[in-house]
Structure 1
Amino acid sequence: MPLFNSQIHWQGMGNTVAVGLLTLFAVVSYVEWSSNAAVTEFISATEASASDPNQSNESPASIQSSRAERGCPQGKRPLPTELMPLP
Structure 2
Amino acid sequence: MGVGKYSPTVTFSYMKDQNWWNKNNTKDDVNYDDDGYDRYGYDCNDRDRAGVYENDYISDGRWEGDNFVYPLYEDISSEWSGRLCAGVKFEASEPKV
Q: Report the TM-score when normalising by structure 1.
A: 0.19
Q: Kindly name which structure, 1 or 2, has the bigger radius of gyration based on alpha carbons.
A: 1
Higher relative contact order (CA 8 A, sep 6+): 2
Q: Report the TM-score when normalising by structure 2.
A: 0.17
